[in-house]
Structure 1
Amino acid sequence: MLLTGAVILIFLTLSAAIFRRFNVPMIILALAVGIFFGSDVTGIIYFDDALLTRRLADIALVFVLFAGGYSIKRADLKPVLAPTMMLATLGVLITMIVTALVFHLVSGWSFTQSLLVATVISSTDAAAVFSILRNRSLQLRPSSITEIESAANDPMAIIATTLIIQIVAGGEIEAGRVALSFVWQLLGGVGIGLGVGWAGLLLFRKIKEVETGYYYLLLIGLILASYGAADLVGASGMLSAFFAGFLMGNSKLPLKSSLSSFTATLSFVANAGLFILLGLLMFPRSMGAVWSQGLLLFLILSFVARPVAVFFCTLGMKLPFGEKIFLSWSGIRGSVPIVLATYPAAAGLDPDHQIFNIIFLAVTLSILVQGTTIGKLADLLKLSEREKPKNKQKMELVTVHDTKYELVELFIDGDLYKGESTVASLVLPADATITMISRKDKIIAPRGNTMLHPGDILTILVDEGRITEVTNHVLSKFEKQ
């Protein structure tokens, strides 16, 4: 079994190297590798445990969402909070109702069955969205809305799925209790996540003089605690993990650069493992009986329900038409709907796994079609951005001790400045020094007679209170174009 797992991971890595030039998202490759090694293709691994998949998917999603929150800056969240929360709540409801109505009318299924299918697939997926969008250089607002929405809309979908299952099964529903549960999932998830994040900051600042590995262990413990604590009291563990990461990512931490890299690595490995697992769970031969319903569900969701939800939820908001089109197409489905598709089977409402197979096929189409075309759509709508070094950005000074110094990268933009200067001509304060110059493919150790040119990237060690003063002084030695 270990050898098989090793072969799968090596096969995925080699596939990524081969398909790199085509910009194929990692999750699509992982899904394809899982299908290839699964029961219906090579038959090397037989795997059909949907409940185990659900448990493992939850664990993987925790790491993906924490990393997503960790990488989002506070300044980026505020301007997109209104459209994000509208899409994560009302948007899910609209998507569910529109999908159910159209699916019922076209497929001939009963409305309750159609509603159950629509509810299960009503939320976008954080693992898929983060994996695909993080590989693109996109404008901040549309990418932030899509990413944060995908993390925040799980509670609505989970509650709605549970509610519809109870209705279909003939159980009694208390509207007040459902409303309170939804509010608690949202607010409790956010609050507990921030609480765990705050406790994590205290712990990181208290422990010093230990090996770096212990920081990584502590981080893993905090990530799992953010989900576990929320889940224990019935709040949203997904939201809790996201906001714990958000708080810690926007705070000063010892070894933050190393922790950031470790968090991104955890997310990547979790994503790869999750979609390999989902690929193993897929039985392509069984999809033949439901291909028409799966295709119909994907088309309704992508071209009718999602656009209606986006345009309705953003009424009165100053979002350009192009961004609304992008948001409509970026509602990628993934592991969460597949996990939710196990709920009807567990409740005895899907004995032949027809609903599960339809959802799986629609999700696979969403990943394959939307995942591979979202970048081209962003280019067409002019929402892609050319990667260019920022004029000034902080780097992480790796030390476990508190310090007032920062490492700053200063880019002398050749489109804005011309001329040249020597290092010796700079009058820097005693608490500032240029430690390195990056010029094209070369690294230069600066001396007094070293020439500085437009296009250079300077690494400067400087007191955090004098960053602006020092960077402005360096740039003043060049003429503006």
Structure 2
Amino acid sequence: MYILIISLVLIMALIAMRISSDLKIPQLLLFMLLGVSFNFFGADFTNYNFSNQVSSIALMFIIFYGGFGTKWKMSKPVAKEAITLSFLGTVLTALITGLFVYLVFDFSLLEAMLLGSIIGSTDYASVSDVLVSRRLKLRYNTDSLLELESGSNDPTAYTMVVLFSTLLQGKNVNVPVLIILQVGIGLLLGFALGWVFIRILDYLNTRENMEVILLAAAALFTYEFTNQIGGNGYLAVYIFGIYIGNKEFVGKREVVFFFDSFTNLAQIGLFFLLGLLSDPSSIIAMLPIALVIMLFMTFISRPASVYGLMAPFKLNKNQLPVIAFAGLRGAAAIAFAISVVNSDTPFLNDLYHIVFDICLLSSLIQGGYLPTLSKKMDMVDPEDASLRNFNSLQDKSDVGFLATKIKADSDLVNTYIRDITLAFDFIIAKVLRHGETIVPNGDVQLKVGDVIVLAGRSYFDVVGTDLLEFRINSHHNWVNKQIKNIRLERDSLIVLVLRGDNELIVPNGDTTILDQDTVLVLEASNAK
């Protein structure tokens, strides 16, 4: 019987996704309502212990894949702003909201702060759902900023939930030590285990598509091991995801396809579970309180945090309203609320249904109006609107991209694209000029400083041991030598030189190797 019900839920969720697309409403809202609807058919599900385990694992995989899909090169220009909002922004939003709840409603100070912490983080699943389903590509890298912030702020909120939950239980807690352990151990193990497991992947070099199993197990291990020794498992698994996701390895494309589907399933399950655990009469009873809190967060606490913390960064004035309004609540708040209800934390108010209503209203109001606000603020970049960007396309297909910059002495200066004949099976995918994307039609004339992005079929070396990478230091015998004067082993070739942070040099005999260059050398034992 349970199998039949689960299959029906999944089928109905897929139908809900189509309805969401047609009606242009957030699909996660429909997943919650789907769970609520089961209560009208006699479902009486109140197993918070089981729900806590399921929601924690689901959120863990959502956070892991949020990190895995974060392309650091794209996020780096807005990393300072995103990380500031992720940590300080989450803390300020939670504290301001908690103080408001304490002053306006019948909450104790600690219980009010606990509620503020539960709903303090911007939800990655909800933000990503709106951006992808409505094909929103925002100007000034704002979408990258929102995705990095929402993907990394759950650990901050979770640390605050642990703190105030512990205080409510009357336990003695050293607040600075708790925060240092949560954050410090989480960061350390995230990087350390990422370093370990990427080497295990390289060592196994499997061709049986077992990478998915290994990474799923590694993510679970990272999360639980970090929790067991007092760290923040969500922070660790997010850092682990970023580290692994920005490396290349055999089977990465299969990993992307699997976790794309699996995290969708996790989101369906999480939001459906929230609805299933709810009581319709309690939803209605808590709606006025939730509406006031949600409106306060949307128009007071979140904007105050965003405008205050972003002032030193001098963002475009049109960005700030969009960033402030994009603080959607969702999966993390659900998991944290279930965790608190399942714990020994004493509280006098119906936190669960308040959180449910806040997520419901946030998804409906903020998720529904965000695309309209983005257009009104002239923040939508129509030229680059797409369901997936160049980086995700590389992960999900056999397409690869190369970039080359037009220098002053290049034969391509002032050449029209229609007059360029490319060797091999390449095509010009786009042209970047002063940071702006230009659609590469035949009438585009190339200028000095333009960056041409070429697309073609990618190649991945399943052996991976022939290509060696190493850094040149001041004592290396190649430093300050031209390649034609370097004695290489037989069947060896210097194929690429990386200089500085982003200068790629295709070498020839006259290329001089400098101190701190990174050199890639092909050493093929079977070369002909």
Q: TM-score w.r.t. structure 2 length? A: 0.72
> What is the aligned partner in structure 2 of residue 448 from structure 1?
none
Are residue 325 (structure 1) and residue 329 (structure 2) matched? no
User: Residue type of the partner of 1:331?
Assistant: G
Q: How does 1:368-407 map to 2 (within 5 A)?
A: 368-388=364-384, 395=394, 407=400
3-state SS in 2 of match to 1:459:
strand
Larger relative helix fraction: 1
Q: Distance in 2 between matches of 1:243 and 1:300?
A: 32
Matched residue type, 1:32? L
For 1:85, the aligned partner's letter is I
| Residue matched to 1:479 | none
Q: Which residue of 2 aligns with 1:358?
A: 354
Alignment match, 2:195: 198
Question: 1: CA distance between counterparts of 2:105 and 2:8?
Answer: 42
Q: Give the Cα–Cα distance (whole angstroms) in 1 for the partners of residues 259 and 237 of structure 2.
A: 12
Equivalent residue in structure 1 for 2:70, among 64, 69, 72: 72
Contact 2:16 2:27 in 1 (8 A): no
Alpha-carbon offset, residue 305 of structure 1 = 0.9
Distance 1:395 1:162 in 2: 39
- 1:417–1:34 distance in 2 versus 1, CA, 3 Å: farther
Asked whether the equivalents of residues 61 and 263 of structure 2 are also in contact (C-alpha less than 8 Å), the reply is yes
Note closer, same or farther for the CA distance 1:271–1:396 as it changes in structure 2 (3 Å cut): closer
Report Cα offsets for 1:101-159 as digits up to 9, x if no partner: 33333335444443333233222223323333343332363223322223333333233
Q: Please say which of residues 324-333 and 16-25 is displaced more in the overlay.
A: 16-25
**Cross-structure match for 2:96:** 98
Whether contact under 8 Å (2:127, 2:147) holds in the other structure is yes
The answer to whether 1:434 aligns with 2:425 is yes
Correspondence 1:89-128 to 2 at 5 A: 89-107=87-105, 109-128=107-126
Per-residue deviation at 1:61? Answer: 1.4
Alignment CA distance shift 1:434-1:248 (3 Å): same
After alignment, is 132-141 or 373-382 more displaced?
132-141
RMSD between aligned alpha carbons? Answer: 3.5
After alignment, is 380-389 or 246-255 more displaced?
380-389
Letter in 1 for 2:374: A
Aligned 8 A contact 1:26 1:272 in 2: no
Contact 2:69–2:242 (Cα < 8 Å) also in 1: yes
Q: Tell me if structure 2 keeps the 8 A contact 1:103–1:296.
A: no
Q: Distance in 2 between matches of 1:160 and 1:395?
A: 37
The aligned amino acid for 1:138 is K
Q: Distance in 1 between matches of 2:256 and 2:443?
A: 30
1:246 aligns with 2:242: yes
Stretches of structure 1 that go unaligned for 5 or more consecutive residues are: 400-405, 411-415, 439-451, 470-481
* Partner of residue 137, structure 1: 136
Instruction: Report the CA distance between 1:18 and its aligned residue.
Output: 3.3
Contact kept in structure 2, 1:30 and 1:272, CA below 8 Å: yes
Q: Provide closer, same or farther for how the CA distance between residues 314 and 11 of structure 1 changes in structure 2, counting only shifts above 3 A.
A: same
Residue 316 of structure 1 aligns to a residue in which SS? Answer: helix
The match for 1:478 is none
Distance 1:219 1:307 in 2: 38
Report the CA distance shift for 1:243/1:100 in structure 2 as closer, same or farther (over 3 A).
closer
1:254-306 superposed Cα distances (whole Å, 9 cap, x missing partner): 12222222222222221122111112112222122222211111111111111
Tell me how many residue pairs correspond in the alignment.
431
Which piece of structure 1 moves more, 83-92 or 51-60? 83-92
User: In the alignment, is residue 9 of structure 1 matched against residue 10 of structure 2?
Assistant: yes
| Distance of 1:462 and 1:355 partners within structure 2 | 52
Q: 1:391 to 1:417 in 2, by over 3 A?
A: farther
- Conserved 8 A contact 2:165-2:345: no
Structure 1 counterpart of 2:154: 154
For the structure 1 residues 87 and 3, does the alpha-carbon distance in structure 2 shift closer, same or farther, using more than 3 Å as the test? same
Alignment-mate amino acid for residue 51 of structure 1: N
Find the residue that maps to 1:211 and give its secondary structure.
coil
Q: Matches of 1:71 and 1:6 in 2, distance apart?
A: 29
Q: CA deviation at 1:418?
A: 5.6
Residues in 1 aligned to 2:71 and 2:122: alpha-carbon distance in whole angstroms: 22
After TM superposition, the structure 1 = structure 2 runs for residues 276-425 of structure 1, keeping only pairs within 5 Å, are 276-342=272-338, 343=340, 346-350=343-347, 354-388=350-384, 395=394, 407-408=400-401, 420=418
221, 232, 241: which is aligned to 2:228? 232
Distance 2:248 2:307 in 1: 38
Q: TM (normalized to structure 1)?
A: 0.79
State the SS of the aligned residue for 2:311.
coil
Q: Report the Cα distance in structure 1 between the residues aligned to 2:267 and 2:390, rounded to whole angstroms.
A: 32
2:54: which partner in 1? 56
- Take 2:342 and 2:425, find their aligned partners in 1: how far apart are those partners? 63
- Check the 8 A contact 1:255/1:398 in 2, yes or no: no
Task: Give yes or no for contact 1:254–1:398 (8 Å, CA) kept in 2.
Answer: no
Partner Cα distance (2:382, 2:289) in 1: 40
Contact 2:49 2:342 (8 Å CA) reproduced: no
Higher RCO structure (Cα 8 Å, ≥6 apart): 1
Cα 1:56/1:22, change in 2 over 3 Å: same
Q: Structure 1 pair 226/387, CA: closer, same or farther in 2 (3 Å)? A: farther
Q: Deviations over 1:178-217 (max 9, x none)?
A: 21221232232222122222222212222245322x2221
- Pick from 85, 88, 92 the counterpart of residue 86 of structure 2: 88
Distance 1:391 1:108, change over 3 A: closer
Check the 8 A contact 1:436/1:460 in 2, yes or no. Answer: no
- SS of alignment partner, residue 425 of structure 2: strand
